[in-house]
Amino acid sequence: MDVVVVLFLFAGLFFFTGGAIGILRFPDFYSRLHPAGKLDTLGLLLSMIALALFNLHHFSLGTVLTSAKIIIIVVFVFLASPTATHAIVDAGVRAGLGPWTKGEQRR
Amino acid sequence: MKILGLIIAILTGAFLIYAAVDFPDWADPTSPASTYLSPRFIEKTIEETSVPNIVTAVLADYRGFDTMFETAVIFSAAVACFFILRIFVHGEPGERLYRHVLTGVTIRVKEGKIPPSDDFERIDASWTPHDLIIKTICRLLVPFIQLFGLYVIAHGHHSPGGGFQGGVILGASIILLAISNDLRTAVKRMGEKLVGLLCALGVFIYAGTGALCLLLGLNFLDYAALASILHVDPITARSHGILIVEIGVGLAVMTAMIWIYNNVSSNGEYDEGL
Protein backbone atom coordinates (compact mmCIF):
# COMPACT_ATOMS: atom_id res chain seq x y z
CA MET A 1 0.00 0.00 0.00
CA ASP A 2 2.72 2.44 1.04
CA VAL A 3 4.69 1.63 -2.11
CA VAL A 4 1.71 2.55 -4.28
CA VAL A 5 1.21 5.82 -2.37
CA VAL A 6 4.87 6.78 -2.74
CA LEU A 7 4.81 5.88 -6.45
CA PHE A 8 1.75 8.06 -7.06
CA LEU A 9 3.25 10.93 -5.04
CA PHE A 10 6.51 10.79 -6.99
CA ALA A 11 4.67 10.65 -10.30
CA GLY A 12 2.69 13.73 -9.24
CA LEU A 13 5.84 15.57 -8.18
CA PHE A 14 7.46 14.60 -11.50
CA PHE A 15 4.65 16.29 -13.45
CA PHE A 16 4.72 19.34 -11.14
CA THR A 17 8.46 19.69 -11.74
CA GLY A 18 7.93 19.35 -15.47
CA GLY A 19 5.28 22.05 -15.32
CA ALA A 20 7.54 24.41 -13.37
CA ILE A 21 10.44 23.89 -15.80
CA GLY A 22 8.07 24.40 -18.74
CA ILE A 23 6.77 27.71 -17.35
CA LEU A 24 10.35 28.93 -16.96
CA ARG A 25 11.74 27.71 -20.30
CA PHE A 26 9.02 28.04 -22.94
CA PRO A 27 9.44 31.08 -25.18
CA ASP A 28 6.10 32.93 -25.02
CA PHE A 29 2.79 33.45 -23.27
CA TYR A 30 0.75 30.76 -25.06
CA SER A 31 3.34 28.02 -24.88
CA ARG A 32 3.95 28.76 -21.20
CA LEU A 33 0.23 28.27 -20.51
CA HIS A 34 0.49 24.78 -21.95
CA PRO A 35 2.54 23.29 -19.06
CA ALA A 36 0.74 25.50 -16.55
CA GLY A 37 -2.68 24.18 -17.54
CA LYS A 38 -1.92 20.56 -18.30
CA LEU A 39 0.89 19.36 -16.08
CA ASP A 40 -0.43 21.04 -12.94
CA THR A 41 -3.80 19.35 -13.40
CA LEU A 42 -2.22 15.93 -13.92
CA GLY A 43 0.26 16.40 -11.08
CA LEU A 44 -2.58 17.38 -8.79
CA LEU A 45 -4.61 14.33 -9.86
CA LEU A 46 -1.77 11.91 -9.07
CA SER A 47 -0.72 13.45 -5.76
CA MET A 48 -4.34 13.76 -4.58
CA ILE A 49 -4.96 10.08 -5.43
CA ALA A 50 -1.89 9.31 -3.32
CA LEU A 51 -3.31 11.32 -0.41
CA ALA A 52 -6.72 9.66 -0.74
CA LEU A 53 -5.10 6.19 -0.66
CA PHE A 54 -2.86 7.09 2.25
CA ASN A 55 -5.91 8.33 4.16
CA LEU A 56 -7.54 4.88 3.82
CA HIS A 57 -4.96 3.21 6.10
CA HIS A 58 -7.53 2.96 8.86
CA PHE A 59 -10.58 1.88 6.93
CA SER A 60 -13.76 3.43 8.37
CA LEU A 61 -16.70 5.57 7.23
CA GLY A 62 -14.91 8.76 8.30
CA THR A 63 -11.76 8.12 6.28
CA VAL A 64 -13.77 7.02 3.23
CA LEU A 65 -15.68 10.32 3.40
CA THR A 66 -12.45 12.30 3.63
CA SER A 67 -11.00 10.42 0.66
CA ALA A 68 -14.18 11.07 -1.33
CA LYS A 69 -13.84 14.80 -0.56
CA ILE A 70 -10.24 14.75 -1.83
CA ILE A 71 -11.41 13.12 -5.07
CA ILE A 72 -14.15 15.77 -5.39
CA ILE A 73 -11.44 18.46 -5.17
CA VAL A 74 -9.70 16.75 -8.10
CA VAL A 75 -12.93 16.74 -10.13
CA PHE A 76 -13.38 20.44 -9.40
CA VAL A 77 -9.84 21.31 -10.47
CA PHE A 78 -10.23 19.10 -13.55
CA LEU A 79 -13.15 21.24 -14.66
CA ALA A 80 -11.89 24.63 -13.51
CA SER A 81 -8.20 24.61 -14.45
CA PRO A 82 -8.49 23.90 -18.22
CA THR A 83 -11.38 26.37 -18.43
CA ALA A 84 -9.29 29.05 -16.75
CA THR A 85 -6.41 28.36 -19.15
CA HIS A 86 -8.82 28.54 -22.08
CA ALA A 87 -10.19 31.88 -20.83
CA ILE A 88 -6.67 33.31 -20.40
CA VAL A 89 -5.68 32.26 -23.94
CA ASP A 90 -8.92 33.78 -25.23
CA ALA A 91 -8.15 37.06 -23.47
CA GLY A 92 -4.61 37.02 -24.93
CA VAL A 93 -5.91 36.53 -28.47
CA ARG A 94 -8.53 39.25 -28.05
CA ALA A 95 -5.93 41.66 -26.67
CA GLY A 96 -3.96 41.17 -29.90
CA LEU A 97 -0.99 39.13 -28.73
CA GLY A 98 0.40 37.09 -31.61
CA PRO A 99 1.96 33.67 -31.13
CA TRP A 100 5.72 33.15 -31.09
CA THR A 101 7.31 31.73 -34.23
CA LYS A 102 10.64 29.96 -34.67
CA GLY A 103 13.64 32.27 -34.90
CA GLU A 104 12.07 35.09 -32.87
CA GLN A 105 13.39 36.16 -29.50
CA ARG A 106 11.92 34.80 -26.28
CA ARG A 107 9.41 37.09 -24.64
CA MET B 1 -5.26 71.57 4.06
CA LYS B 2 -2.87 68.87 2.89
CA ILE B 3 -0.25 69.97 5.42
CA LEU B 4 -2.88 69.84 8.20
CA GLY B 5 -3.75 66.30 7.19
CA LEU B 6 -0.08 65.32 7.18
CA ILE B 7 0.43 66.78 10.67
CA ILE B 8 -2.62 64.90 12.00
CA ALA B 9 -1.44 61.64 10.41
CA ILE B 10 2.08 62.02 11.84
CA LEU B 11 0.70 62.89 15.31
CA THR B 12 -1.65 59.88 15.31
CA GLY B 13 1.15 57.60 14.15
CA ALA B 14 3.47 58.93 16.86
CA PHE B 15 0.81 58.35 19.52
CA LEU B 16 0.22 54.79 18.30
CA ILE B 17 3.95 54.00 18.35
CA TYR B 18 4.21 55.58 21.82
CA ALA B 19 1.33 53.42 23.03
CA ALA B 20 2.76 50.29 21.43
CA VAL B 21 5.88 50.56 23.62
CA ASP B 22 3.79 49.53 26.64
CA PHE B 23 2.58 46.32 24.98
CA PRO B 24 4.03 43.01 26.17
CA ASP B 25 6.73 41.47 23.96
CA TRP B 26 5.93 38.98 21.21
CA ALA B 27 5.19 35.53 22.69
CA ASP B 28 5.84 36.76 26.23
CA PRO B 29 4.75 33.87 28.49
CA THR B 30 4.04 36.25 31.39
CA SER B 31 1.74 38.57 29.44
CA PRO B 32 -1.92 38.70 30.56
CA ALA B 33 -3.10 37.07 27.32
CA SER B 34 -0.91 34.00 27.85
CA THR B 35 -1.33 33.62 31.61
CA TYR B 36 -5.09 33.53 32.04
CA LEU B 37 -7.02 34.58 28.89
CA SER B 38 -5.98 31.88 26.41
CA PRO B 39 -5.98 29.01 28.94
CA ARG B 40 -9.47 30.00 30.05
CA PHE B 41 -10.82 29.92 26.49
CA ILE B 42 -9.06 26.64 25.77
CA GLU B 43 -10.41 24.95 28.90
CA LYS B 44 -13.90 26.40 29.20
CA THR B 45 -15.14 26.92 25.62
CA ILE B 46 -16.56 23.44 25.10
CA GLU B 47 -18.42 23.31 28.42
CA GLU B 48 -19.72 26.88 28.19
CA THR B 49 -20.80 27.01 24.52
CA SER B 50 -20.56 23.39 23.24
CA VAL B 51 -18.66 24.64 20.19
CA PRO B 52 -15.58 22.54 19.31
CA ASN B 53 -13.94 25.30 17.27
CA ILE B 54 -12.56 27.74 19.84
CA VAL B 55 -11.87 30.43 17.24
CA THR B 56 -15.52 30.55 16.21
CA ALA B 57 -16.68 30.68 19.83
CA VAL B 58 -14.31 33.54 20.68
CA LEU B 59 -15.16 35.42 17.49
CA ALA B 60 -18.94 35.21 17.59
CA ASP B 61 -19.70 34.74 21.27
CA TYR B 62 -17.08 36.00 23.73
CA ARG B 63 -16.06 38.82 21.38
CA GLY B 64 -19.38 39.13 19.55
CA PHE B 65 -19.62 42.91 19.93
CA ASP B 66 -16.39 43.35 17.95
CA THR B 67 -17.58 41.05 15.16
CA MET B 68 -20.89 42.89 14.95
CA PHE B 69 -19.11 46.13 14.17
CA GLU B 70 -16.80 44.36 11.71
CA THR B 71 -19.95 43.37 9.83
CA ALA B 72 -21.16 46.96 10.07
CA VAL B 73 -17.83 48.15 8.61
CA ILE B 74 -18.26 45.85 5.60
CA PHE B 75 -21.83 47.09 5.16
CA SER B 76 -20.71 50.72 5.26
CA ALA B 77 -17.90 49.99 2.76
CA ALA B 78 -20.50 48.65 0.31
CA VAL B 79 -22.83 51.59 0.95
CA ALA B 80 -19.96 54.07 0.49
CA CYS B 81 -19.06 52.39 -2.81
CA PHE B 82 -22.68 52.73 -3.92
CA PHE B 83 -22.96 56.41 -2.98
CA ILE B 84 -19.64 57.40 -4.54
CA LEU B 85 -19.89 55.46 -7.81
CA ARG B 86 -23.53 54.95 -8.70
CA ILE B 87 -24.79 57.16 -11.54
CA PHE B 88 -28.45 57.15 -12.48
CA VAL B 89 -28.30 57.76 -16.21
CA HIS B 90 -31.34 59.39 -17.74
CA GLY B 91 -32.10 60.16 -21.35
CA GLU B 92 -31.23 58.35 -24.55
CA PRO B 93 -28.70 55.53 -24.40
CA GLY B 94 -25.84 55.72 -26.87
CA GLU B 95 -24.72 53.05 -29.30
CA ARG B 96 -25.57 49.50 -28.41
CA LEU B 97 -24.52 46.18 -29.87
CA TYR B 98 -26.88 43.28 -30.49
CA ARG B 99 -26.07 39.78 -31.68
CA HIS B 100 -28.33 37.51 -33.66
CA VAL B 101 -28.22 34.32 -31.63
CA LEU B 102 -28.54 31.80 -34.49
CA THR B 103 -26.17 33.31 -37.02
CA GLY B 104 -23.80 35.27 -34.77
CA VAL B 105 -24.28 38.44 -36.83
CA THR B 106 -23.67 41.57 -34.76
CA ILE B 107 -25.59 44.76 -35.42
CA ARG B 108 -24.95 48.26 -34.07
CA VAL B 109 -27.97 50.32 -33.02
CA LYS B 110 -27.56 54.09 -32.71
CA GLU B 111 -30.00 55.73 -30.29
CA GLY B 112 -32.85 53.70 -28.96
CA LYS B 113 -32.99 49.95 -28.90
CA ILE B 114 -34.55 47.16 -30.86
CA PRO B 115 -37.68 45.59 -29.38
CA PRO B 116 -36.90 42.65 -27.08
CA SER B 117 -37.04 39.28 -28.80
CA ASP B 118 -35.45 35.89 -28.45
CA ASP B 119 -33.57 36.25 -31.72
CA PHE B 120 -31.30 39.06 -30.56
CA GLU B 121 -29.25 39.32 -27.37
CA ARG B 122 -27.54 42.45 -26.17
CA ILE B 123 -23.73 42.31 -25.89
CA ASP B 124 -21.15 44.60 -24.33
CA ALA B 125 -19.25 47.26 -26.28
CA SER B 126 -16.00 45.35 -25.73
CA TRP B 127 -17.20 42.73 -28.19
CA THR B 128 -17.18 39.24 -26.74
CA PRO B 129 -17.32 36.10 -28.86
CA HIS B 130 -19.82 33.38 -28.12
CA ASP B 131 -17.78 31.23 -25.74
CA LEU B 132 -19.67 28.05 -25.04
CA ILE B 133 -16.90 26.42 -22.97
CA ILE B 134 -16.53 29.14 -20.36
CA LYS B 135 -20.27 29.79 -20.08
CA THR B 136 -21.16 26.10 -19.69
CA ILE B 137 -18.41 25.28 -17.20
CA CYS B 138 -19.16 28.33 -15.07
CA ARG B 139 -22.88 27.53 -15.13
CA LEU B 140 -21.96 24.00 -14.01
CA LEU B 141 -19.63 25.11 -11.23
CA VAL B 142 -21.67 27.94 -9.70
CA PRO B 143 -24.16 25.71 -7.81
CA PHE B 144 -21.34 23.65 -6.30
CA ILE B 145 -19.46 26.77 -5.27
CA GLN B 146 -22.63 28.05 -3.59
CA LEU B 147 -23.19 24.71 -1.87
CA PHE B 148 -19.63 24.84 -0.56
CA GLY B 149 -20.22 28.40 0.66
CA LEU B 150 -23.28 27.29 2.64
CA TYR B 151 -21.26 24.37 4.03
CA VAL B 152 -18.49 26.72 5.17
CA ILE B 153 -21.03 28.97 6.93
CA ALA B 154 -22.88 26.11 8.63
CA HIS B 155 -19.75 24.13 9.49
CA GLY B 156 -17.96 27.04 11.18
CA HIS B 157 -18.61 25.39 14.55
CA HIS B 158 -16.49 22.34 13.76
CA SER B 159 -13.89 23.37 11.19
CA PRO B 160 -12.23 26.51 9.86
CA GLY B 161 -14.96 28.64 8.35
CA GLY B 162 -17.81 30.87 9.33
CA GLY B 163 -19.81 33.77 8.04
CA PHE B 164 -17.04 35.88 6.55
CA GLN B 165 -15.38 33.10 4.56
CA GLY B 166 -18.63 31.50 3.44
CA GLY B 167 -20.06 34.88 2.48
CA VAL B 168 -17.04 35.63 0.31
CA ILE B 169 -17.40 32.25 -1.46
CA LEU B 170 -21.11 32.88 -2.11
CA GLY B 171 -20.38 36.37 -3.39
CA ALA B 172 -17.61 35.06 -5.64
CA SER B 173 -20.03 32.58 -7.23
CA ILE B 174 -22.30 35.43 -8.38
CA ILE B 175 -19.26 37.46 -9.53
CA LEU B 176 -18.10 34.42 -11.54
CA LEU B 177 -21.49 34.43 -13.24
CA ALA B 178 -21.07 38.15 -14.02
CA ILE B 179 -17.58 37.59 -15.47
CA SER B 180 -18.38 34.47 -17.50
CA ASN B 181 -21.65 35.77 -18.97
CA ASP B 182 -22.14 39.50 -18.51
CA LEU B 183 -23.16 41.90 -15.78
CA ARG B 184 -26.81 41.95 -16.87
CA THR B 185 -27.14 38.18 -16.37
CA ALA B 186 -25.91 38.48 -12.80
CA VAL B 187 -28.03 41.55 -12.05
CA LYS B 188 -31.11 39.75 -13.40
CA ARG B 189 -30.61 37.09 -10.72
CA MET B 190 -29.48 39.36 -7.89
CA GLY B 191 -31.12 42.74 -8.50
CA GLU B 192 -29.68 45.94 -7.11
CA LYS B 193 -32.55 46.47 -4.67
CA LEU B 194 -32.37 42.88 -3.41
CA VAL B 195 -28.62 43.14 -2.88
CA GLY B 196 -28.97 46.35 -0.87
CA LEU B 197 -31.82 44.99 1.23
CA LEU B 198 -30.03 41.69 1.99
CA CYS B 199 -26.86 43.56 2.94
CA ALA B 200 -28.77 45.60 5.50
CA LEU B 201 -30.72 42.52 6.59
CA GLY B 202 -27.46 40.70 7.41
CA VAL B 203 -26.39 43.42 9.83
CA PHE B 204 -29.95 43.58 11.18
CA ILE B 205 -29.98 39.82 11.94
CA TYR B 206 -26.76 40.19 13.94
CA ALA B 207 -27.78 43.30 15.86
CA GLY B 208 -31.36 42.03 16.20
CA THR B 209 -30.17 38.80 17.84
CA GLY B 210 -28.24 40.90 20.33
CA ALA B 211 -31.26 43.10 21.01
CA LEU B 212 -33.47 40.00 21.42
CA CYS B 213 -31.12 38.73 24.12
CA LEU B 214 -31.44 42.13 25.79
CA LEU B 215 -35.24 41.92 25.60
CA LEU B 216 -35.22 38.44 27.17
CA GLY B 217 -33.43 39.77 30.21
CA LEU B 218 -29.73 39.05 29.69
CA ASN B 219 -26.80 41.06 28.31
CA PHE B 220 -26.55 42.23 24.71
CA LEU B 221 -25.42 39.28 22.52
CA ASP B 222 -25.60 36.81 25.45
CA TYR B 223 -27.14 33.97 23.43
CA ALA B 224 -28.02 31.95 26.53
CA ALA B 225 -31.16 34.11 26.65
CA LEU B 226 -32.40 32.45 23.45
CA ALA B 227 -32.87 29.15 25.35
CA SER B 228 -36.52 29.94 26.15
CA ILE B 229 -37.36 30.63 22.48
CA LEU B 230 -35.43 27.71 20.98
CA HIS B 231 -36.56 25.27 23.72
CA VAL B 232 -33.01 24.04 24.44
CA ASP B 233 -30.69 24.38 27.41
CA PRO B 234 -28.65 27.62 27.68
CA ILE B 235 -25.36 26.02 26.53
CA THR B 236 -26.86 24.67 23.29
CA ALA B 237 -28.59 28.02 22.85
CA ARG B 238 -25.19 29.75 22.77
CA SER B 239 -24.11 27.33 20.02
CA HIS B 240 -27.30 28.04 18.04
CA GLY B 241 -26.95 31.79 18.62
CA ILE B 242 -23.51 31.68 17.01
CA LEU B 243 -25.02 29.98 13.94
CA ILE B 244 -27.73 32.66 13.68
CA VAL B 245 -25.26 35.55 13.73
CA GLU B 246 -22.95 33.69 11.31
CA ILE B 247 -25.86 33.54 8.85
CA GLY B 248 -26.29 37.29 9.27
CA VAL B 249 -22.58 37.88 8.67
CA GLY B 250 -22.67 35.60 5.61
CA LEU B 251 -25.59 37.50 4.08
CA ALA B 252 -23.96 40.88 4.66
CA VAL B 253 -20.54 39.84 3.31
CA MET B 254 -21.97 38.06 0.24
CA THR B 255 -24.11 40.99 -0.85
CA ALA B 256 -21.41 43.56 -0.03
CA MET B 257 -19.03 41.73 -2.39
CA ILE B 258 -21.62 41.65 -5.18
CA TRP B 259 -22.63 45.27 -4.61
CA ILE B 260 -19.04 46.55 -4.74
CA TYR B 261 -18.22 44.45 -7.83
CA ASN B 262 -21.31 45.64 -9.72
CA ASN B 263 -20.59 49.29 -9.02
CA VAL B 264 -16.86 49.17 -9.71
CA SER B 265 -17.01 47.02 -12.86
CA SER B 266 -19.72 49.10 -14.55
CA ASN B 267 -18.48 52.55 -13.44
CA GLY B 268 -21.69 52.89 -11.46
CA GLU B 269 -23.95 52.71 -14.51
CA TYR B 270 -25.05 49.06 -14.27
CA ASP B 271 -25.16 49.06 -18.06
CA GLU B 272 -22.08 47.19 -19.24
CA GLY B 273 -19.73 45.21 -17.05
CA LEU B 274 -16.23 43.95 -17.64
pLDDT in tens, A36-92: 888 989 999 999 999 999 988 888 888 999 999 999 999 999 888 989 998 888 888
The reply to whether A8 falls in a domain is yes
Q: B170 with B150: CB under 8 angstroms? A: yes
Provide residues of A within 8 Å CB-CB of chain B: 76, 79-80, 83, 86-87, 90, 94
Q: For residue range B175-210, what is the model confidence (pLDDT) as tens digits?
A: 999 888 888 888 888 889 999 999 999 999 999 999
CA distance B174 to A7: 40
Provide residues of B within 8 Å CB-CB of chain A: 129, 131, 133-134, 137-138, 140-141, 144
Per-residue pLDDT at B90: 64
Structurally, chain A folds into a number of domains equal to 1
The reply to whether A102 falls in a domain is no
Structural domain range at position A88: 2-94
Q: Where are the beta strands (DSSP E) in B22-126?
A: 96-100, 106-109, 120-123
DSSP 8-state class, residue B26: T
List all residues 6 or more positions away from B145 whose beta carbon is below 8 Å from its beta carbon: B169, B170, B172, B173, B176
pTM of the complete model: 0.83
Nearest CA in chain A to B127: A94
Task: Write the residue in A76, A86, A94 that is nearest to B134 by C-beta.
Answer: A86
B134 CB neighbours in chain A (<8 A) are: 83, 86-87, 90
Q: For residue range B234-258, what is the model confidence (pLDDT) as tens digits?
A: 888 888 889 999 999 999 999 999 9
Q: Where along chain B do its domains lie?
A: 49-90+130-265
